Amino acid sequence: MTRFATALLAVVLLASGCGHRAASGPARVPVTISRAAQRAVPYEIVATGTVEPRQTVSVQAQVTGVLTHVVFREGDDVQAGQALFQIDPRPFEAARDGAQGALARDIAQSESARRDAERYAELVKQDYVTKSDYDAKRAAADALTATVRADSAAVETAQLNVSWATVRAPISGRTGRLLVREGNLVRANTDQLVIINQIHPILVRFAVPEQELPQVQRYRANRLPVLVSPSKSDTTFGAGLLTFIDNSVDTATGTVLLKAEFANQDNTLWPGEFLNVRLQLYVEDKALVVPAQAVMTGQQGTYVFVVNPDGTARSQPVTVERTAGQYAILVQGVQAGDQVVTDGQLRLVPGASVEVKGGSAAGAVEADK
């Protein structure tokens, strides 16, 4: 009798426990939610770009000689026309002085020959000299006139050589490292002395898929803004404007080369640097957005879990037009104000009860209203 009573008591207790779990229902799934909303979202093309100088010049000497002086320091900013190098000018000054002396001599001889020709012109009219004598004097005068012109050109060339002994910056920009030091012999139009890069303003080149070209061409007249940053996680962006679209598609990559110009007054962009690029074509004023992590992909396509007012979740198919940073822009599937699950979706099934982290689903709905 005692054993029977004990067994009966155990069955009663077991039945009571099962009834309690059944009454309490399945456990709620903890989730994080966010509200679908309409906001202004730019349409952007994301690419990887490379910084390049707007102009780059390899400075070379135009005369051959010994480099006697460097009048700047490596890495200096220089202005167009500023003196950079001095080549020994003495040989060129001597050549100029010789050319000027030859010019003065030939001018005097030319003047004398011209006067002789004028006198013979009068004498031939009176038959005091022969016509051949006059022709000879006139030819001599013409030859010396031509010699004077050649001497004048030689003086100009010699003067140019003297001026070219001072090597000047052809453009404004920043100098690189010195490639030739003082005391070395530099050869005309052969030896590189220094490279100057113009970095104010500066360019960033990047490529976009050819499928995006019609959109770029459509909005090009709007002076499209371009934002660049050193890395995807960096929130500091430099702003510039699109200035160039290549005239052909690269058939090997299926992309089109574009360039943007940046003022770069703070020297944040450096030639050769790799950057993340965002080309903004337009701004969609009332785009329906949800956090990108809310969108799942299944066998039937993309979907999100929407929290119903009664605290249950439902699977809602959505059509994603594009993504913009941390947001997904939806074409259809949800409405502004719907609450979508952004964390905890992997544990959800349609109809499951949810518990919003930090409060109940119903409480969160009321708080958002």
CA–CA gap between residue 53 and residue 69 (Å, rounded):
27
To the question of pTM greater than 0.85 for the whole model, the response is no
Q: What is the DSSP letter of 27?
A: P
CATH code for the domain in which residue 220 is found: 2.40.30.170
- Domain assignment of residue 176, yes or no: no
- 208 shares its domain with 271: yes
- Domain assignment of residue 15, yes or no: no
Query: What sign does the CA torsion over 309, 310, 312, 316 have?
Result: negative
- List residues bridging with 67 in a β-sheet: 87
- Average pLDDT along the chain, 369 residues, taken 10 residues at a time: 48 45 64 92 91 96 96 95 96 95 93 87 82 87 92 94 96 95 95 96 96 92 90 74 95 96 92 93 91 90 92 91 87 90 89 77 39
Burial 296-332 (b: 16+ CB within 10 A, else e): beeeeeebbbbbbeebbbebeebebeeebeebbbbee
Q: 331 lies in which domain range?
A: 26-39+286-368
- Domain assignment of residue 100, yes or no: yes
- Domain assignment of residue 212, yes or no: yes
- Domain assignment of residue 183, yes or no: no
- 319 shares its domain with 281: no
Number of domains in the chain: 3
In sequence order, what are the residues at sequence separation of 6 or more whose Cβ sits closer than 8 angstroms to the Cβ of residue 361? Answer: 33, 307, 308, 311, 339, 354, 355
CA–CA gap between residue 275 and residue 226 (Å, rounded):
12
pLDDT at position 369: 39
pLDDT at position 233: 63
- 241 shares its domain with 292: no
- Domain assignment of residue 297, yes or no: yes
- Domain assignment of residue 1, yes or no: no
Domain boundary among 285, 317, 335: 285
pLDDT at position 238: 85
pLDDT at position 128: 82
CATH code for the domain in which residue 118 is found: 1.10.287
- 278 shares its domain with 349: no
- 205 shares its domain with 221: yes
- 330 shares its domain with 315: yes
CA–CA gap between residue 194 and residue 182 (Å, rounded):
13
Domain boundary among 231, 257, 285: 285
Domain boundary among 164, 188, 211: 164
